Amino acid sequence: MLSPSDVSASPSGAGRYAPSPSGDLHLGNLRTALYAWLFARSTGRAFRLRIEDLDRVREGSAQRQMDDLEALGIDWDGEPLIQSARTVAYEDAVARLRERGMVYECFCTRREIQEASSAPHGAPGAYPGTCRTLTADERTERARSRPAALRLRSETREWTVLDRYAGQYTGMVDDMVLVRNDGRAAYNLAVVVDDHFQGIDQVVRGDDLLSSAPRQSCLASLLGLGRVDYVHVPLALNREGKRLAKRDGAVTVAELRDNGVAPAEIVRMIASSMPLRSLRTDDAGALPESASQMLEVFDPETISLDPWTVLDPAAEVPRVSD
């Protein structure tokens, strides 16, 4: 269990949105953020924001992301948590696992791991345990040419989580990276430590991350942290059926604004994609124009579980009536 100082003061639980400040949010990101906010607020939870800046960071993007969220009416409780300021908490978590003999050094390159996992008897995507049994002398020798990452010595190969829409989902748990070879905490470790710290008991995110849930839930259990309720929602896709990206053009708030699309119209477009019902029974076109209006008609039982294909955002947006 992490120290009492690392426990959030929110007793009623919370949801969260945790963007990486690598660039502006696009329509798919904004849609997921709205889903996370709606699920949290509709269940009486607090809503937290976390800036996951342990990887690539583009200057100014975190502030632009927050400005875009606010433009759609999304608010959050407390100050945003900045992961790069949480080094001590991650080190503490690793130390606790190390005390139990559950951490070892790994010197493998990404290429070596890919080649091993693609071998006839390898599990696709799983770390094959190459460095698990290195002797002290072997570790010393390998450290001369490459700094070590730290991996979990997992005693479990599978873990089952419960997702609101996917139901019971069982996924692989391998010797996941805890600390990268540049010394920074790995994604899975940072996520579970920070979710606990922020009092998160509801995780709403894109369904492409469903396969990460068993690893994270297992790691949280090993650290003595609480379980979370998972809600994985459909992604936004481009016309080729691939995950929507900024390179698809005119998909950020700034780009859409340049094409004459106001934030209220972006909310209407996303509400239509979910879909949410009209605000008025006598006017099917009276779609929500802000997050608070979306909350008035949000029903988790009626949202579509199919992905949203975004063709031409500037052309297909349901316009605000005069």
Q: Which residues contact 161 (CB under 8 A, 6 or more apart)?
A: 168, 169, 171, 213, 214, 217, 230
Supply the pTM of this predicted model. Answer: 0.91
Q: Which helix (H) or strand (E) holds 71?
A: helix 61-71
What's residue 270's pLDDT? 96
Question: Alpha-carbon distance 191 to 49, whole Å?
Answer: 13
Question: Vertex 45, ends 40 and 47: CA angle to 5°?
Answer: 65
Q: What is the pLDDT of residue 7?
A: 34
* Dihedral angle computed from the Cα positions of residues 183, 189, 190 and 194, in that order, rounded to the nearest 10 degrees: -140
* Residue whose token pair is 């239509």: 272
Question: Six-digit token pair at 188?
Answer: 């899975």
Report phi then psi at 254, rounded to 5: -65, -45
Residue type, 83: Q
Q: Tokens standing for 6? A: 């690392």
pLDDT value of residue 6: 40
Q: What is the pLDDT of residues 29-53, one digit of tens each?
A: 999 999 999 999 999 999 999 999 9
Pair of tokens at residue 261: 């699309």
Residues contacting residue 50 through CB under 8 Å, at least 6 positions apart: 16, 17, 18, 80, 81, 82, 83, 194, 198
pLDDT value of position 316: 65
Q: Give the CATH architecture of domain 4-233.
A: 3-Layer(aba) Sandwich (3.40)
Domains of the chain, by residue range, sit at 4-233, 237-311
* Cα(295)–Cα(144) distance, integer angstroms: 57
CB 81 within 8 A of CB 48: yes
Residue in this structure with the two tokens 């010394």, named with its chain if needed: 183
CB neighbours of residue 204 within 10 Å = 23
Q: Check: CATH 1.10.8 for 237-311?
A: no
Give CA separation, 205 vs 208, 253, 266, in Å. 8, 20, 19
Q: Check if the beta carbon of residue 15 is closer than 8 Å to that of residue 205.
A: no
* pLDDT values of the chain reduced to their tens digit, one per residue, 322 residues: 333 334 333 447 999 999 999 999 999 999 999 999 999 999 999 999 999 999 989 999 999 999 999 999 999 999 999 999 999 999 999 999 999 999 999 999 888 888 776 655 455 668 889 999 999 999 999 999 999 999 999 999 999 999 999 999 999 999 999 999 999 999 999 999 999 999 999 999 999 999 999 999 999 999 999 899 999 999 999 989 999 988 887 789 999 999 999 999 999 999 999 999 998 887 767 899 999 999 999 999 999 999 999 987 766 666 554 3
